[in-house]
Structure 1
Amino acid sequence: MYRIIQETADFLVVDKAPGVAMHKDQAESGLVMQIKADLALSALLPVHRLDKVTSGVLLFAKHPQAASLLSQQFARREVEKFYLAISDQKPRRKQGLIVGDMERSRRGGWKLLRSRENPAITQFFSTSLSSGLRLFLLKPHTGKTHQLRVALKSEGAPILGDWQYHSASQGIDRTYLHAYSLQFHWDGQPVTVCSPPSNGQYFDQSCRTLIEQHYAQPSALDWPTIPRGHS
């Protein structure tokens, strides 16, 4: 269900498995409840969230003061988040910026619009993984629901195994979206947490080698420019 990456008296960072809900989901206890029970914690407060289908780095506060300080960093967009995804479709561009408002679609998901009143903002790079597969490094600057999944669909490259946005997901073992790295500040010091994906047929050793070669230090890359007024 999860693996502990870093733990202090103030916060906890875990690597969440795909298919695990943050909170109680029908018969399942939910990640928050399970971690609290496993570690005998009196409090465990999520300061951001991941979709059930998404694996990877997830930050929790251990007390209300830490939750307030960390939540403020997220609200001010001071936390850097990096995700990895795989698609079996060729994108319109190999790298770039995806900006647009999001609204509900008829099928219960979301879609990207051309308007930019309160837009979702995503930067991305991509590189060839193998024949017919492409690896994406994504940096969201906003936290809209399904933002990255919708962003890649808008580029013509829906995420492999994403049953909601990819028309051919049957037989794929998971949705190939992983929260790869998180950078925030605590006690005046920068904290960087990084956890390469390990769960899934296509997140294999060759994929992890490619990540190490191209995306080992995601914050140091020359990211596409964000238009003035949207940063």
Structure 2
Amino acid sequence: MSTLTFNIEDKYVGITIREYLQTYNVGKPVIYKYSSNHLFEVNFKAVNSEYRLKKGDVLNIHLEPYVMNDIEDVELDIIYEDDDIVIVNKPFNVIVHDDGASEDHLTRRVNMHFQYHGYHHQVLPAHRIDKETTGIVVFAKHFIALAYLSNLFESRQVVKNYICVVENKVKDKTGSIESKLIKDSKLQKMVVSPHGKLAITHYELLGYEATRSRLKVQIETGRTHQIRAHMASINHPVVGDILYGVSSSRLLLHFSEISFPMIRTKKVEHFVSNPPF
């Protein structure tokens, strides 16, 4: 069984384990389950979630086991890894989550890799990118990291930059697109509509490639197909986007940079993935 260890800082002295975990946005049902299953220890003695932390305490959390069958060593392009997270470079044409139809997906590959190397706890993605998009995907190695990262994404504390190549020459060196997006059930794609959810996209021209433009794009929000829908809305669809533009060999969209405060230190770290195009 894998175990998490936290050395309790002075600022947390006097609060309960439940309150401590809630500072990472862990939900009460998960805390209750771990407490009921006697998976909390302080200084190697079993305690429940109402134990009040003391100066010098060491909190150990035994993670629920997760065992896969027929595992093999899967090659991953790992950008960064520590005890809490792993950042993976997603290849083209691979989905992030299990969609119920495809046997192969990035989450399965990541879990097979960790199972093979002796880490028997489920590793889950904190966000997703499209099947055709390449680049950064951040995975949580345990429930505390997943709760913490999910809150960062939801509260827009994550800086996300993409590289893409779009059709036609973009005239302005920089620009912003701020409009509401909603899914059109007939077209099966996102469209600009006053009834949608606000989406904010900023772009910077990096250069021209024949009749096309290479852009650096930063999104403040994380709507479905946001970059693809927004760039198409200003007549610059992403190259290879069969849904919003014209099909070609592949979609030229890559999640290239991410910055966020780390779970233990709260120091903002920056991670980079170079586009394959």
Same-fold call, TM cutoff 0.5: yes
- Stretch deviating more after TM superposition (95-104 or 140-149): 95-104
Gaps of 5+ in 1: 204-231
The 5-angstrom pairing of residues 121-136 of structure 1 reads 121-136=200-215
For residues 91-119 of structure 1, the C-alpha deviation after alignment (integer angstroms, 9 at most, x for no partner) is 46442110111122331101123x48741
2:87 aligned residue: 13
Gaps of 5+ in 2: 1-74
- 2:230 is paired with a residue whose SS is helix
Are positions 1:84 and 2:167 aligned together? no
Cα separation, 1, equivalents of 2:230 and 2:172: 12
Are positions 1:193 and 2:271 aligned together? yes
The 5-angstrom pairing of residues 1-231 of structure 1 reads 2-25=76-99, 26-40=101-115, 41=119, 42-91=121-170, 93-105=172-184, 106-113=186-193, 115=194, 118-166=197-245, 168-169=246-247, 172-186=248-262, 187-198=265-276, 203=277
User: What amino acid sits opposite 1:80 in the alignment?
Assistant: V
Please tell me the root mean square deviation across aligned C-alpha atoms, in Å. Answer: 1.8
Cα separation, 1, equivalents of 2:226 and 2:170: 17
Structure 1 residues 92 and 101, CA, compared in 2 at 3 Å: closer, same or farther? farther
Identity %: 29
Query: Shift in Å at residue 24 of structure 1?
Result: 3.1
Cα separation, 2, equivalents of 1:7 and 1:128: 33
Cα separation, 2, equivalents of 1:196 and 1:101: 30
Contact 1:79 1:183 in 2 (8 A): yes
Relative to the length of structure 2, the TM-score reads 0.66
Greater Rg over alpha carbons, structure = 2
For residues 71-97 of structure 1, the C-alpha deviation after alignment (integer angstroms, 9 at most, x for no partner) is 111111111000011012234644211
- 2:77 is paired with a residue whose SS is strand
Q: Which has the higher contact order (CA 8 A, sep 6+)?
A: 1
Contact 1:11 1:60 in 2 (8 A): yes
Query: Shift in Å at residue 174 of structure 1?
Result: 1.1
User: What amino acid sits opposite 1:112 in the alignment?
Assistant: V
User: How many residues in Structure 1 have an aligned counterpart in Structure 2?
Assistant: 195
